Amino acid sequence: MSKRYYACVYGGASERIADTHKKEIEKLGNIIAEKGFSLVYGAGATGCMGAVARGIKEKGGYVMGISPDFISEFEEIFDCDNTVMVDTMSERKTLMEKHADIFLIAPGGVGTMDEFFQVLTLKYLKRLTAPIVVLNLNGFYDSLIKLIDNLIEQGAVIPEIHKLFDVVESIDDEKLLNYLHTIKNK
């Protein structure tokens, strides 16, 4: 049996996120599946989470959702190929990190920020090596990038932090597509 490659997509479950973002993230799901990757994510059926899972399934891809038992109080769970239920958000993140060959940061809220900063910190501490790509669709993460720049200016973060993640403005960006190609062809 050949190795399954996973794109871990962090993104919001909120339906209030702009439809343009959800459409782009669904297209991202198509691209991920077409490139031969499976999805590991937080199991949500709505917002950007639901969009990426639908995009994967449209192209016949495999979806693994990881969710704490209590999350159904807050959001609907997608009908994944494999749904893993855990007790805590920490367990959820640890399992997603374990499976991920690349981390893609889609538009989202505080949960997505938590996930991004956790993997960024782990990469800084050399606990993971997978690429991290921030999807700055329509400037969604401009203020996040400015925050990181401000942290550098204030001396709280080293300037080299920018080398630990990439930012793309479009899901069709060659940099993102090259990551997907390179990971599968190591």
Which pLDDT band, with edges at 50, 70 and 90, does 47 fall under?
Answer: very high
Percentage of residues of the chain with pLDDT beyond 90: 91
User: Which amino acid is present at 115?
Assistant: E
Average pLDDT over residues 16-34: 97
In the chain, the domains with their CATH numbers are: 5-181 (3.40.50.450)
Of 69, 118, 123, 124, which Cα lies nearest the Cα of 94? 118
Task: Read off the pLDDT of residues 129-176 as tens digits, 9 standing for 90 and up.
Answer: 999 999 999 999 999 999 999 999 999 999 999 999 999 999 999 999
DSSP labels, 73-137: GTSPBP--SEEEEESSHHHHHHHHHHH-SEEEE-S--HHHHHHHHHHHHHHHTTS----EEEE-G
Q: What is the pTM assigned to this prediction? A: 0.96
pLDDT at 184: 81
pLDDT at 50: 97
- Pick the range with the lowest mean pLDDT from 5-9, 64-68, 72-76, 131-135: 72-76
| Centroid of chain to Cα 14 | 15
